[in-house]
């Protein structure tokens, strides 16, 4: 399953709350910290806005019947970060993947199931191992940075889910936040 590509430019329909988030992210990114501390600070700044009415304009809450949908909310002119809303209908999911940069994902509506993986090199070839499954409700934050950012996300609920993602890169220019995808490991590993 692939996401609907982000369009170029800053999205129309910004809201005062989204502008507040964007300003906070801009200030944090401007500190030029290492990726993981940046992601953690951005997550803390985003957390207080999740679930708030008025964070997103109505068009940014629309899903797609066949796949999760990505709405570009902001791309910083210098390419240092971008913000997107991902809208998930029941059962929609990502492939197992990692990212091009640090990433913060916060659940704004509904709930998301996240499977976290790591690469284990205890044999002739490295293999992917599921080490944690997490149910993320409204307000939950995941702040991750490569390496160690391999996961799969899905809407395991019966209603639409929306998450806000902040990436330390211009995902509109790159075409995706995903660096690579991985085949699912055999069951039981």
Any domain includes 180: no
Q: What is the CATH number of the domain that holds 141?
A: 2.60.120.10
pLDDT tens-digit map of 110-160 = 999 999 999 898 888 888 999 999 999 999 999 999 888 899 999 989 999
Give buried/exposed letters for 4-35 (b at 16+ CB in 10 A, else e): bebeeebbeebbeebeebbebbeebbeeeeeb
> Does some domain include residue 178?
no
Taking residues 42-48, what's their average pLDDT?
97
Mean model confidence pLDDT for the chain? 90
**Residue 55 in domain:** yes
Domain residues for 137? 16-173
Decide if 26 is inside a domain. Answer: yes
Give the pLDDT confidence of 17-43 residue by residue, as tens digits: 999 999 999 999 999 999 999 999 999
Is 4 inside a domain boundary? no
CA torsion through residues 70, 97, 157, 2, sign: positive
Calpha distance 39→105 (Å, rounded): 10
**149 is a domain residue:** yes
The tally of domains found in the chain comes to: 1
Confidence (pLDDT) at 75 = 96
DSSP string, the chain: --PPPPPSSPPS---HHHHHHHHHHHHHHTT---HHHHHHHHHHHHHTTTT-TTSS-GGGG---SSS-EEEEEEE-TTSS-EEEEEEE-TT-BPPEEEESS-EEEEEEES-EEEEEEEEE-SSSS-EEEEEEEEEE-TT-EEEE-SSS-EEEEE--SSS-EEEEEEESS-HHHHS-SEEEEEPPPPTT-
Tell me if 7 is assigned to some domain. no
Q: Which two tokens stand for residue 79?
A: 């390419």
| Cα 98 to Cα 113: distance, rounded to the nearest angstrom | 16
Residue 1 lies in a domain: no
């Amino acid at each position: 399953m692939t996401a609907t590509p982000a369009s170029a430019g800053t999205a129309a329909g910004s809201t005062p709350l989204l502008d507040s988030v964007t300003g906070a992210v801009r200030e944090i990114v401007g500190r030029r910290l290492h990726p993981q501390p940046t992601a953690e600070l951005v997550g803390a700044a985003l957390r207080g806005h999740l679930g708030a009415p008025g964070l997103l304009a109505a068009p940014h809450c629309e899903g797609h019947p066949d796949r999760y949908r990505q709405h570009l909310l902001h791309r910083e002119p210098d390419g240092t970060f971008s913000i997107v809303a991902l809208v998930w209908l029941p059962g929609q999911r990502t492939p197992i993947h990692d990212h091009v940069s640090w990433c913060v994902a916060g659940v704004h509506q509904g709930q998301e199931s996240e499977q976290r993986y790591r690469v284990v090199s205890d044999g002739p070839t490295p293999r992917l191992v599921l080490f944690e499954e997490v149910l993320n409700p409204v307000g939950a934050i995941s702040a991750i940075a490569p390496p160690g950012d391999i996961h799969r996300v899905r809407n395991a609920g019966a209603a639409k889910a929306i998450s806000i993602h902040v990436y330390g890169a211009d995902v509109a220019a790159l075409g995706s936040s995903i660096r690579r995808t991985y085949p699912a490991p055999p069951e039981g590993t």
